[in-house]
Structure 1
Amino acid sequence: MAISFVLEGKFHTTTELLSIPQEELPEWLYEVQNFVQKWVNNDAFFEQQTSGSTGTPKTIRLTKKQMEASAQATIKALNIPQKASALLCINPAYIGGKMMIVRAMLGEWNLELVAPTSNPVNDCTLKHYDFAAFVPMQMKQLATSKSGLAFLHRIDCAIIGGAPVDSSLLQQLQQSSCICYSTYGMTETVSHVALKQLNGAEKSDFFKVIGNNEVKCDERDCLRVRGAVTNNEWIQTNDVIEVVQGGFKWIGRSDFVVNSGGVKIQIEETEQILSKLLALSTSDELMLWKAPDQTLGEVLIAIVNSKTLMTKVMDMEQTLKEKLPKYHFPRRWYISKNFYKTDSGKLDRKKTYESVNAE
């Protein structure tokens, strides 16, 4: 049995998918068709745009061998059976979407293809899914509604990638029977090389490395990784980690560090603490970044999405300062209703700060 592609409830063979005229396909489905065509043609390599995790964004070439190694590592780590039913509702233009297709082809799955919208529930037709992939924005839509939670009960296992899972989403996932994993990886590592279970009996605070991948720290405590997915070459990242047995704890990006008068403040770590203290429900309410300062070199700044939240911060200022590490309370505060995002759904902190600073 080969892979079956499910479109609007109808099952299609690979040949049938490839025979659909391109002009009849929406852009996201053309991405699927184009990738599958290259795969069956045994193209020597696949070009993919990176997001900048290891430096300036660029186009790299990935081989079929690398992609197969990544797919097999995920299938083995999550014990996904042959002929499983799975859901692709993330953007197939990115490596995460493409790797769902590769896993499905290797595992001879029934892969339902759904437009990558913020809430894909209404387009999903299968009664049960062994496996699915989401970005945090989609999972938030599912985890915060009755219909979304009911839909998640139809899924055995899901991965969430493309951006970090914030504390509010993590809390919401505890009521779901779908076992969810946060992923760590990038285009250069052919999607994820490590998984962190977010709910269920084996919930963890650490990422567990999968496949034959190995990780270590450089002198900046930034992660380096190599394995079959990197052609056994070391890939250097800007992600600060703490290595533990069998895996690591992700701290944040090294370029997301504020050096304020010699005090180094990790932006993402401080943002998580503040969000928890303020009992925020989404990651679109508070954002931290850095700004130049004549005296301290750099200072930590904060942007909130409403006057109500700003008032709450001012009322709690003394408590927040006491709970945060010394010098970690942002020195400047701004209000903005627009938190800019990158194409992959990550916060564009620099652009958001520049927009409020220009006002």
Structure 2
Amino acid sequence: MRTDDWLIGYNSFEFNKIYQQRLQDLTEFINAQGVRPKIILAEPEPIAFLATFLAAVVAKCPVFLCNPNWVKAEWKQVFKIVHPDVIFGNLEEFNPSYIQTNSVIPTPANSIMIPTGGSSGNLRFVIHTWETLTASVQGFQQYFNLKKVNSFCTLPLYHVSGLMQFMRSFTTGGRLAIFPFKAVETGELIEFNPSEFFISLVPTQLQRLLNRSQTPGWLSQFKTVLLGGAPAWLELLQQARLHQIRLAPTYGMTETAAQIATLKPDEFLAGNNSYGQVLPHAKIKIYTENNQELGINQLGIISIEADSLTLGYYGQTYNPKCRMQTLKSDDLGYLDEQGYLTIVGRNSYKILTGGENVYPVEVEGAIRSTGLVADVGVIGLCDSHWGQVITAVYVPTFPDVSISSLQTALQDKLSKFKQPKYWVAVESLPRNVQGKLNLKQLEELAEKFLNRATDSR
């Protein structure tokens, strides 16, 4: 346990106090029941969340990290697969806090379950351990040649993107600032030296900060601005360069305990738009769909080996005697001669229209570059003639943006077969806090709009 004043904006002594109390509670439970309880952790307060998380790890209890703001439908998914013994958090549906249950799902005592919903919106838990998380930290340290890592965290702690900021700072002797993004956006900033800190953002957060007058200068003072969680568009990267922000686009996922490839800030400012090189604790190879390994600059499916790789998915693929060795991702990309990673999109998101392959990331980037949309998501809807038709669901920059103006603006940016056939204007897109689109909800929005338009004819 750390005794220094490592928390910024919070009381480190209070953290230790909560940690000691929670560790005592768990120890008493273990002694009384003879088993290590399965814990659901949904504490809304950051310090209580982190102190309880650490207590669970030290007590070697399996702990499930959860979003305290999940609604009933999401909690229903959680309790369908997780049968907790202990719940920490303000869940009004469950009283008392301790619930005695039985579960046949094997749960390793020292496991850390981190939620992921991806683009489908269906919750599942990725299994990690303290060892896989610290392997990610060590790779980060080596890659950036650091002893201590100071982090400014605006992302949720129950998600891998927020949790790993705590892990990097806590385990390396660095400092951690936890601050709500809304406060950052409105300029309510605390006093500290950004030049010594890493900050992690998702693209939509970066865009919102760049759109405000006071925050780009503040962001440019950071040692590094890690950018991940969702694909960034070219105009966003160019805007960040214009403000001399030391951006570091990253590639990683919950399954890899965050980033396994990162572009260093100096390379970004020099004009590199890739995801950088692979961190020391990981390896990336590129394969065809038939599992044939590809060479340099050949586009294919990304396969990952890493010391930080998940043990599996809770209740699905976990085998305590057989840890996952490699992860075949859904991402399409290639490695160049210097080992820099470029990603073009998701294999399962690929739209097949009239025999042509179209990647939504490319279409979304072209639409954004028109300046006529504030946000956009591109999907393929089923069509009896074309197989799929490209459909753009967008938030117009101005109320009077017409479809014809969008189509005209795209004529020199995309081949005709890549241009959307259908356009659906909405007030906002269904994104999670990491900026990822919920494709299921996006399809429902588009189909509802198009069905309504058909019925009105």
> Which residue of structure 2 aligns with residue 234 of structure 1?
326
- CA distance in 1 between partners of 2:260 and 2:433 (Å): 22
Q: Which has the higher strand share?
A: 1
- CA distance in 2 between partners of 1:38 and 1:31 (Å): 11
Pairs within 5 Å for 1:160-171: 160-171=227-238
Residues 1:303 and 1:202: Cα distance change in structure 2 (over 3 Å): closer
| Contact 1:92–1:98 (Cα < 8 Å) also in 2 | yes
Give the TM-score normalised by structure 1: 0.86
> Which residue of structure 1 aligns with residue 16 of structure 2?
15
The one-character-per-residue Cα deviations of 1:284-334 (angstroms, maximum 9, x if unpaired) are 1x3211111111111111123239577555146356335412411111122
> Which residue of structure 1 aligns with residue 351 of structure 2?
258
Pairs within 5 Å for 1:61-140: 61-82=127-148, 84-117=149-182, 119=184, 121-128=187-194, 129-140=196-207
Matched, 1:335 2:425: yes
- Any runs of at least 4 consecutive aligned residues in structure 1 with deviations exceeding 6 A, and if so which? 53-56
1:208 aligned to 246, 261, 277, which one?
A: 277
| Contact 2:119–2:437 (Cα < 8 Å) also in 1 | no
The one-character-per-residue Cα deviations of 1:62-90 (angstroms, maximum 9, x if unpaired) are 111111110111122123342x5421221
- CA distance in 2 between partners of 1:3 and 1:248 (Å): 39
- CA distance in 2 between partners of 1:153 and 1:294 (Å): 50
Root mean square deviation, CA, Å: 3.1
- CA distance in 2 between partners of 1:119 and 1:236 (Å): 37
Pairs within 5 Å for 1:23-38: 26-38=44-56
- CA distance in 1 between partners of 2:228 and 2:211 (Å): 18
Displacement of 1:42: 5.2
Q: Which runs of 5+ in 1 are unaligned?
A: none
Residues 1:306 and 1:149: Cα distance change in structure 2 (over 3 Å): closer
Displacement of 1:158: 2.0
- CA distance in 1 between partners of 2:221 and 2:17 (Å): 27
Q: Which runs of 5+ in 2 are unaligned?
A: 26-42, 62-109, 290-299, 310-322, 450-457
- CA distance in 2 between partners of 1:224 and 1:135 (Å): 23
Displacement of 1:355: 1.9
Give the TM-score normalised by structure 2: 0.69
| Contact 1:80–1:131 (Cα < 8 Å) also in 2 | no
SS at match of 2:188: helix
Stretch of structure 1 that moved more, 179-188 or 348-357: 348-357
| Contact 1:197–1:204 (Cα < 8 Å) also in 2 | no
| Contact 2:10–2:47 (Cα < 8 Å) also in 1 | no
For the pair shown, which has the larger CA radius of gyration, 1 or 2? 2
Stretch of structure 1 that moved more, 159-168 or 27-36: 27-36
The one-character-per-residue Cα deviations of 1:42-61 (angstroms, maximum 9, x if unpaired) are 55221112334899752132
Matched, 1:194 2:284: no
| Contact 2:135–2:281 (Cα < 8 Å) also in 1 | no
Identity of aligned residues (%): 19
The one-character-per-residue Cα deviations of 1:109-140 (angstroms, maximum 9, x if unpaired) are 12112235473652433233422222223322
> Which residue of structure 2 aligns with residue 349 of structure 1?
439
Aligned AA (1:224): S
1:317 aligned to 389, 407, 431, which one?
A: 407
| Contact 1:163–1:346 (Cα < 8 Å) also in 2 | yes
Aligned AA (1:273): A
| Contact 1:130–1:157 (Cα < 8 Å) also in 2 | yes
- CA distance in 1 between partners of 2:286 and 2:216 (Å): 38
Name the count of aligned residue pairs: 353
Residues 1:225 and 1:331: Cα distance change in structure 2 (over 3 Å): same
Pairs within 5 Å for 1:230-309: 230=309, 233-245=325-337, 246-276=339-369, 278-280=370-372, 282=374, 284=375, 286-306=376-396
Residues 1:102 and 1:304: Cα distance change in structure 2 (over 3 Å): closer
SS at match of 2:259: strand
SS at match of 1:188: helix
Stretch of structure 1 that moved more, 119-128 or 246-255: 119-128
